[in-house]
Amino acid sequence: MKHRLSVLVGLSTLVLGSVGVAEDKTTAAANPAHDHSTMPGHDAASKGSQDLHKAMMDGMQEMHSMKMTGNTDVDFASMMIEHHEQAIAMSKAQLKSGKDPEVKRKANEIIAASEKDIADLNKWKAKQTAATR
């Protein structure tokens, strides 16, 4: 139950975070005082940060383009698979460019846990497909 809550919080953060990014760009355009691109560390994003952002945006785009089946269980499994694939891509980008050993360790843990969750969800989906034949 605790893991499911963490996943839901993570999904909410991703969705709300993307809204905040869009609003921040709009706000910056309307009010130059809100443009943080000139602040230290924001003037030129590192390649690693760009890779993280791309992984996040690609995953979000994939989830947004998913066609819902009307079966909440199947739709949840499909979206969570994509979410975990996104987490793996982001973790690999962190491992490639990150420096902190603790964060690198966490990225490896996320990859291992996400791969297991993807396998479990795919196995469940396969059983559902077989049951409906």
- 133/130 Cα distance (integer angstroms): 5
* Separation of first and last alpha carbons in the chain: 31
- How high is the pLDDT of residue 8? 47
- 66/86 Cα distance (integer angstroms): 14
pLDDT in tens, 82-123: 999 999 999 999 999 999 999 999 999 999 999 999 999 999
- 34/24 Cα distance (integer angstroms): 8
DSSP 8-class letter at 41: T
Residue 21 pLDDT greater than 70, yes or no: no
Dihedral sign from CA coordinates of 49, 55, 61, 63: negative
The larger pLDDT score, comparing residue 112 to residue 34, is at 112
pLDDT in tens, 57-70: 888 888 888 899 99
Residue spans of the domains in the chain: they are 1-43, 45-133
pTM: 0.63
